[in-house]
Structure 1
Amino acid sequence: MPLSVTCTSLSFTWPDGTAVFDGLDASFGPGRTGLVGVNGSGKSTLLKLIAGVLPPAGGTVRIAGEVGYLPQNVTLDTTLRVDRVLGIAERRAALHAIEAGDASEEHFETVGDDWDVEERALATLGELGLGHIDLDRTTGEVSGGESVLLRLAALLLRRPDVLLLDEPTNNLDLYARRRLYAAVESWPGVMVVVSHDRELLERVDQIADLRSGEISWYGGNYSAYEEALAVEQEAAERMVRVAGSDLRKQKRELADAQVKLARRKRYGQKMWDSKREPKVVMGERKRQAQVSAGKHRIMHEERLAEARERLDEAVEAVRDDAEIRVDLPYTAVPPGRGVLTLRELEPAYGARVTGGLDVRGPERIALIGRNGAGKTTLLRTIAGELAPVAGEATAHVPLRFLPQRLDVLDGGLTVAENVARFAPGATDNRIRARLARFLFRGARADQKADTLSGGERFRAALAALMLAEPAPQLLMLDEPTNNLDMASVRQLVTALESYEGALIVASHDLPFLKSIGITRWLVLDGELTEIAPEAVGYSA
């Protein structure tokens, strides 16, 4: 039987009654499939159902082969040794015992045919850029990004037939991402990967678009998917125009028919009143006219209802491409004006700024570096959240910092109330008018922050900072695209395109950094150094 994953009539509902799937049919065959969709569409839930982490409410999942699953949030027991995380501790111990002269039968049974297990483990770690990690170390000694790669290494060593990856590049630096890309490209079996990482999705064989509980399939990588989707959307918008025109036509025809029927009715009444024909003849004529009028009215009303239905179907096929609009003139910074000065800054952890760094005018700076290099610490120090060990960071304009955790929001308050905390002088009407530009219209502005999806929570946090008083002329973002779907990333790009202040963005997402018009690239590696765009794989 060929390797595959088949979902038949799959249903799943959360304990609060929220339905995610109702009769989903899907099949994943050999090759790499990118599973995409907006936040909250059920991508991670589907992977958990396939992996057996969640039980379905109905339907079946059939898998030909063994499954390996890398969840979105990887947590490891910090006391575990690396060889145990890799699943080779027992075989490795038995192998060492045999090498030391212990010929016990149980050792040979444990090793089986896997005599090169240690060499394979070290080779796999090396391929993922983890060659420096000793098998006897504990996971408490590795970074968050390295722990993700360790879990991936464990899966690769198991050689499962089906590999499920949920946002595998989150928290990985540029170097680790490239290692993961290589592992994905060389995968020989069935792979289903959920990701917002454009570069990763360019390496898949097909795209599965999960929307409204159903999957649409597109051959090729993400670029091919975008092209096909654009053609679909153009056709859908054309159908909306055609259906709208037909609806207007049917309304006119119904109105014209009603006018004609009213004229006939008046003429018949006039004939009745003048008694120009026998009463029996006029009565029969009136009855036939009423029957004809009724049929005529029903026909036009049915045509109108059908036109409305066609328009509704056409509108539903058009995706909501709502965009964030930012119109904040007070955020503008004149070219050349000093925005930020760093002098001999030494944060509590990570790279130091030898000499100084000046940020001027509406510059857009990318802050890159390996995991653990200190990017977050540097941003928090500039924002005044952490005290430096030495040196100084001076902001010359109002600044705001959006951390990875989005903890600028109070979960117990509504979106509007959260924004009001940052702009206490603004009226409720002004706040709601501004929030509409961030796609929080009407009742959506009254949602509690705790109930928002990942993309909505990010938009709410961004709105709170952008609408703050005084308006921020320096905005610092820490890994802003983590856990955002593609639609949310596009909305963020649109917002930043219209932002007129200075930007400092820490990110490993190169396509995103390129899309927002980065003007300077700074890398943290012991010290803060400016590099050319070509050094990170992009020309200016």
Structure 2
Amino acid sequence: MTGAPRPGDVQLVADAVTFGYPGRPVLDALDLTVSAGDRVGLVGENGAGKSTLLGVLAGRLAPQRGQVRRRGSLAVVEQDLEVAPGDTVGTLVEQAGAGARAVADELARAIDAFDHESGDVTWLTGAIARYEHLAAWDVDRRVDESLSRLGAPRDRDRTLASLSVGERYRVRLACRLAERADLLLLDEPTNHLDVAGVDHLTAQLRAWAGGLVIVTHDRRLLDDVMTAILDLDPSMDGRPVLYGAARYADYRFARDQMLRRWRARHRAERKRAAQLADRLDKSYEGLSDEWRPPKGSQKNRRATRARIHVKAADRLVQRLEEQAVEVPVPPPALAFPDLPSVPGDYGGGPLLEVRAPRVDGRLDLPGRRVDVMPAARLLVTGPNGAGKSTLLAALTGAAGLDRGTRTLAPGVRLGVLAQEGPAEHAAPVARPGATPSAFDAYARHALRLLEQGLLDPGHLVPVAALGLLGEDDLDRPLGELSVGQRRRFDLACALLAAPHVLVLDEPTNHLSVGLVDELTTALRGTSAAVVVATHDRQLRADLADWPHLDLG
């Protein structure tokens, strides 16, 4: 038994870890060391392997080469949580306290059996330190506090299967925080938290005595918690980069500088390659037809001159190939489409509005009118359960009103990004048994919108033009994309019909930090009207000058 982790104690070592899926390498000889007190943020574009790396570090996935060594206890909260039949909130609560209770029981037995004349004082001291580190006497209170502060269900008899995705995640997160493990691995922990929940999480993580590895898009969390940022996006040499600077702004500056150099070098190499190809064409031009020496030349010189010409061209090819530098294609940037502000036959007034909306048990705004004018902006905030998602669903028509009215102006097209999974009219539905590629699913979605009269063929936004998914990802089955890549696909679906109104529920969830920055800039500048509901603290700060509806 060991005591509490001390600063500098190594909790995790990943040594030359390599992992990939059939036909798709993900991690290549990656090294990472995490000591007690280290708080490492994993960032990178969707599909870069952040969740995969977390699974390898946790032991859920076995590396194909290299090894992972861990020391001490481990706690993990991943995005996709398996739920066993019959599991309840109480099941997770009991699991959370099991380790602390085991330590308490072992210490009690050790004390009872301790021989004060010949006993091992060092061992007993370590057991006491471990007991105090886990605060085993306080684990039940810690679990209950975290459940309450994170807004998680506290009824221990509720089955996990009956909870929403966000509720299940908050229960699991609260229990893992209470365990005080030596190594804690979290995947997007702020996705399902409101502001109060994020504040509690931040305080817990900043005080964590062990090591932390956290996949996150939350730019404020990177600033408030992390001691280092590991960017899994390849750099110009194809390797991930560990940034020691903990501030997000410092990381973004260094990353942006590297991308500028990368793109400039790639452009220069492409230009140089074109020039070299032209020179080679001219070098061989004289060899494409029958070569003839000058008039009066001796016949036996014809072959000699031809061989000299060929050798000179070959030496040029060899020299140019030796000088060539292989520069990989840099990652694409978001190419946000030029969205229209009003339909062609716009006659004035709101594009969309709801009046006195009520959805029983979920939303009640008597006497309130929420309208969306052309090019308008609206930021919707409030704690979990306040009705933000329900209000957005009422605006888009996805939730029927038990009281009140909803009006959509003629010809107005909506783009919708729902919080948990695609909205009914914003995502394709595959035929039973079919596994369409992302590109095929996008095309089917376009056809369905066209059949419903919700798409103008002259204003269709091609998915390949957005910079959200690469060609290889578009050719893959939709179900094989990562959570973040599916979120990018959902965003593409929201933009497909060139909407006049964008309605986005927690748009930063599961997206990379770089894309979040680009999307924020695009939302501020688009001609379309935009309604955003979010808990994201940095996004709220970035949109602080927008009209604000607080449902708290």
TM-score tier after normalising by the smaller chain length = 0.7 to 0.9
Moved more, 145-154 or 368-377: 145-154
Moved more, 161-170 or 509-518: 509-518
Q: Residues 72 and 89 of structure 1: is their aligned pair in 2 closer, same or farther, counting only changes over 3 Å? A: same
**Structure 2 contact 334–466 (Cα < 8 Å) conserved:** no
Q: Does 1:70 align with 2:77?
A: yes
**Structure 2 contact 150–174 (Cα < 8 Å) conserved:** no
2:121 maps to what in 1? none
Moved more, 498-507 or 76-85: 76-85
C-alpha displacement of 1:187: 2.5
Aligned counterpart for 2:500 among listed residues 465, 473, 487: 473
C-alpha displacement of 1:447: 6.1
1:349 maps to what in 2? 361
**Structure 2 contact 363–387 (Cα < 8 Å) conserved:** yes
1:297 maps to what in 2? 313
The normalised TM-score by structure 1 is 0.77
**Structure 2 contact 16–67 (Cα < 8 Å) conserved:** yes
1:323 maps to what in 2? 335
C-alpha displacement of 1:134: 10
**Structure 2 contact 503–530 (Cα < 8 Å) conserved:** yes
The one-letter amino acid paired with 1:36 is V
Q: Residues 516 and 130 of structure 1: is their aligned pair in 2 closer, same or farther, counting only changes over 3 Å? A: closer
Aligned counterpart for 2:418 among listed residues 389, 403, 422: 403
- For 1:394, what is the secondary structure of its paired residue? strand
- For 2:327, what is the secondary structure of its paired residue? helix
- For 1:35, what is the secondary structure of its paired residue? strand
1:231 maps to what in 2? 257
Q: Does 1:220 align with 2:277?
A: no
Give the Cα–Cα distance (whole angstroms) in 1 for the partners of residues 156 and 288 of structure 2.
91
C-alpha displacement of 1:434: 3.8
Give the Cα–Cα distance (whole angstroms) in 2 for the partners of residues 59 and 200 of structure 1.
31
Give the Cα–Cα distance (whole angstroms) in 2 for the partners of residues 292 and 40 of structure 1.
52
The one-letter amino acid paired with 1:40 is G
Matched ranges for 1:339-488 at <5 A? 339-361=351-373, 362-396=375-409, 398=412, 400=414, 401-404=416-419, 405-408=421-424, 409-412=427-430, 414=440, 415-424=442-451, 434-439=462-467, 449-468=478-497, 472-488=499-515
Q: Does 1:177 align with 2:210?
A: no
C-alpha displacement of 1:47: 0.9
Aligned counterpart for 1:190 among listed residues 199, 202, 211: 211
Give the Cα–Cα distance (whole angstroms) in 1 for the partners of residues 274 and 92 of structure 2.
69
Give the Cα–Cα distance (whole angstroms) in 2 for the partners of residues 259 and 29 of structure 1.
63
1:512 maps to what in 2? 539
C-alpha displacement of 1:202: 1.9
Give the Cα–Cα distance (whole angstroms) in 1 for the partners of residues 512 and 150 of structure 2.
32
Aligned counterpart for 2:232 among listed residues 210, 223, 246: 210
Moved more, 199-208 or 213-222: 213-222
Matched ranges for 1:83-162 at <5 A? 83-88=93-98, 91=101, 114=131, 117-119=136-138, 121-123=140-142, 126=145, 130=149, 137-138=156-157, 148-162=169-183
Q: Residues 269 and 80 of structure 1: is their aligned pair in 2 closer, same or farther, counting only changes over 3 Å? A: farther
**Structure 1 contact 411–449 (Cα < 8 Å) conserved:** no
Q: Residues 356 and 118 of structure 1: is their aligned pair in 2 closer, same or farther, counting only changes over 3 Å? A: same
Show CA shifts across 1:336-371 (max 9, x none).
832444433322123421322242423211111111
Q: Residues 215 and 360 of structure 1: is their aligned pair in 2 closer, same or farther, counting only changes over 3 Å? A: closer
1:60 maps to what in 2? 67
Matched ranges for 1:236-247 at <5 A? 236-244=262-270, 246-247=272-273
**Structure 1 contact 331–501 (Cα < 8 Å) conserved:** no
Q: Residues 448 and 492 of structure 1: is their aligned pair in 2 closer, same or farther, counting only changes over 3 Å? A: farther
**Structure 1 contact 9–59 (Cα < 8 Å) conserved:** yes
Q: Residues 335 and 68 of structure 1: is their aligned pair in 2 closer, same or farther, counting only changes over 3 Å? A: farther
Moved more, 48-57 or 74-83: 74-83
**Larger Rg over CA atoms:** 1
**Structure 1 contact 124–157 (Cα < 8 Å) conserved:** yes
Give the Cα–Cα distance (whole angstroms) in 1 for the partners of residues 328 and 101 of structure 2.
60
2:15 maps to what in 1? 8
Give the Cα–Cα distance (whole angstroms) in 2 for the partners of residues 523 and 323 of structure 1.
31
Moved more, 199-208 or 143-152: 143-152
Aligned counterpart for 2:46 among listed residues 15, 35, 39: 39
Give the Cα–Cα distance (whole angstroms) in 2 for the partners of residues 132 and 306 of structure 1.
62
**Structure 1 contact 20–41 (Cα < 8 Å) conserved:** yes
**Structure 1 contact 12–22 (Cα < 8 Å) conserved:** yes
The one-letter amino acid paired with 1:179 is H
- For 2:321, what is the secondary structure of its paired residue? helix
Give the Cα–Cα distance (whole angstroms) in 2 for the partners of residues 65 and 216 of structure 1.
27
Q: Does 1:163 align with 2:195?
A: no
Moved more, 458-467 or 33-42: 458-467
Structure 1 gap ranges (5+): 96-103, 274-282, 526-540
C-alpha displacement of 1:416: 1.1
Q: Residues 422 and 146 of structure 1: is their aligned pair in 2 closer, same or farther, counting only changes over 3 Å? A: closer
Show CA shifts across 1:474-515 (max 9, x none).
332222221222344345445534543332222111323454
**Structure 1 contact 416–445 (Cα < 8 Å) conserved:** no
RMSD, aligned α-carbons: 4.3
1:338 maps to what in 2? 350
Moved more, 148-157 or 187-196: 148-157
Moved more, 224-233 or 74-83: 74-83
Aligned counterpart for 2:26 among listed residues 12, 20, 24: 20
The normalised TM-score by structure 2 is 0.75
**Structure 1 contact 340–393 (Cα < 8 Å) conserved:** yes
Show CA shifts across 1:195-238 (max 9, x none).
11111122312211113584222221322111111221222233
